[in-house]
Amino acid sequence: MLYHLFDYLYNHYHFPGARLFQYISFRAGMAMVLSLVISVIFGGRIIAFLRKLQIGETVRDLGLAGQNQKAGTPTMGGVIIIMATVIPCLLMARLDNVYILLMLLAITWLSAIGFADDYIKVFKKDKQGLKGKFKIAGQVGLGLIVGLTMLLNKEVVVRMTPAAAQAYGYEVVREIHTMGKKAPSLTYVHVKAPITNVPFFKNNELDYSRFLGDNAKDFVWLFFIVMTIVVVTAVSNGANLTDGLDGLAAGTSAIVIAVLGILAYVSGNSKAAEYLNILYIPQSGELVVFIACLLGGCIGFLWHNVFPARVFMGDTGSLMLGGMIATLAIVIRKELLIPALCGIFFIETLSVILQVWYFKYTKKKYGEGRRLFKMAPLHHHFQKAGLHEVSIVVRFWIVQIFLALVTLITLKIR
């Protein structure tokens, strides 16, 4: 909103300082400051309001140390992150950018799913919350929207040389000409292509249509949409499972989001993308502004959520954060980095899957179910082992930082 205002003031009145809003770095910095102010200062008022509305969240007895102290802590604190993301984004981002519009739609969509789940749990006193099939339906719906936008919207393109576009038969959306010594020359083209970055390979690119083979080339759109749905659903649920200790989900998400900000910046900057030999995605640099808002919201929420937590994010926050991380990774074509980038989410989800599988397997084989872990997700296993939750959370953060660095290193390892 402010970008468009100051752009008008600069072009028509040469308003002093208005040109600052042309720079993504300036708007991202201002957006993050505003996000932190909203989440830290106004977050306290939101917590007081939630506490007034809710008699107190009931905590299911899991036999964990200090668990009873959490009873009565208000949930649905994810609204703090949502407000601290949406308001600065509306003010600082370009609202004519397809990626920003998609992010605003995605955060609204996911927040509605999480809010419905928390509302049923807290106000309807139904511990099961929103039925699983409705959660999955909502996540599948978002996956469809993201996948179809990537495939059909003419503004969602990648840049490559004319020779490469012709060789692969991609649909050319725009030609980029540069003035040579005598006449303009065709330097690059913007194309619609089912292509993504893949780590460790020389060209750092994977074409889904070529990967599937000539026989299945016509069905690449279906494969891409299914992949999008799986990624959104998996990461969203992984973040939800990780939200079990004070500061764990918010801190882990903040680290992942910071890395996505770096990846979005280099993918949306033509010189950085050319230097790193990765896909240049026109207009995607604007995502840095949105990511700055989301990162500021997570860090500001930690002010209230670190041990001992004054508020829990609930599914309003955890489902939203996981889904937004997945959506961001897909639109900047880094979805194949998710197993490393979202390593904590992956490990937490895997621990639950293994626990359930092993229990069923041993029950069938020995007549009684046995457990692979003391409790799942994995953070509860360490709690059962006697570690204080602060130690668990900080160590999980350290592991996630390590995984984040590994993800960034893949940009140069070929």
**Cα–Cα distance between 32 and 11 in angstroms, integer?**
26
- Going by their DSSP bridges, the two strands 171-179 and 195-197 should be labelled as unpaired
User: Amino acid letter at 402?
Assistant: F
**Cα–Cα distance between 391 and 396 in angstroms, integer?**
9
Q: Is 183 inside any structural domain?
A: no
Please name the helix (run of DSSP H) or strand (run of DSSP E) that holds residue 224, with its range, or none. helix 220-242
Q: Is 165 inside any structural domain?
A: no
Torsions phi, psi for 190 (to 5 deg): -95, 130
Residue with token string 């699983």: 132
**Whole-number pLDDT of residue 31:** 97
**Cα–Cα distance between 103 and 119 in angstroms, integer?**
24
**Whole-number pLDDT of residue 234:** 95
Q: How many folded domains does the chain comprise?
A: 1
Q: Is 240 inside any structural domain?
A: yes
**Whole-number pLDDT of residue 390:** 96
Alpha carbon 347 to chain centroid distance? 17
DSSP symbol at 216? G
- The pair of structure tokens assigned to 62 is 């899991």
**Whole-number pLDDT of residue 214:** 66
**Whole-number pLDDT of residue 180:** 66
First-to-last CA distance in the chain? 41
Q: Give just the sign of the alpha carbon dihedral 303, 345, 286, 178.
A: positive
Q: Which domain holds residue 121?
A: 2-157+193-409
Q: Is 176 inside any structural domain?
A: no
Number of other residues whose CB lies within 10 A of the CB of residue 134:
13
Q: Is 386 inside any structural domain?
A: yes
Per-residue model confidence as pLDDT tens for the chain (414 residues)? 788 888 888 888 888 888 888 999 999 999 999 999 999 999 999 999 988 886 455 555 566 655 656 777 898 999 999 999 999 999 999 999 999 999 999 999 999 999 999 999 888 888 888 998 999 999 999 999 999 999 999 999 999 888 888 877 788 998 888 766 667 777 889 998 888 888 877 667 888 877 777 666 678 888 899 999 999 999 999 999 999 899 999 999 999 999 999 999 999 999 998 888 888 999 999 999 999 999 999 999 999 999 999 999 999 999 999 999 999 999 999 999 999 999 999 999 999 999 999 999 999 989 899 999 999 999 999 999 999 999 999 999 999 999 999 999 988 876
User: Amino acid letter at 231?
Assistant: V
SS3 state at 277: coil
Q: What angle do CA 256, 260, 263 make, to 5 degrees?
A: 140
Torsions phi, psi for 182 (to 5 deg): -115, -35
**Cα–Cα distance between 290 and 294 in angstroms, integer?**
6
Q: Are 263 and 272 a contacting pair, CB within 8 Å?
A: no
**Cα–Cα distance between 386 and 280 in angstroms, integer?**
48
Q: In sequence order, what are the residues at sequence separation of 6 or more whose Cβ sits closer than 8 angstroms to the Cβ of residue 132? A: none
**Cα–Cα distance between 99 and 284 in angstroms, integer?**
7
Half-sphere exposure at residue 166, Cβ-oriented, CA atoms within 13 angstroms: 6
Q: Are 300 and 292 a contacting pair, CB within 8 Å?
A: no
Number of other residues whose CB lies within 10 A of the CB of residue 276:
16
Q: Are 198 and 335 a contacting pair, CB within 8 Å?
A: no
Instruction: Report CA-CA distances (Å) from 360 to 209, 225, 368.
Output: 39, 32, 9
Number of other residues whose CB lies within 10 A of the CB of residue 371:
14
Q: What predicted TM-score, i.e. pTM, was given to this entire model?
A: 0.93
Q: Is 50 inside any structural domain?
A: yes
Q: Is 282 inside any structural domain?
A: yes
Q: Is 178 inside any structural domain?
A: no
Alpha carbon 208 to chain centroid distance? 22
What angle do helix axes 78-92 and 314-331 make, rounded to 10 degrees?
Answer: 40
- The pair of structure tokens assigned to 269 is 């900057």
Rg (CA), the chain: 23
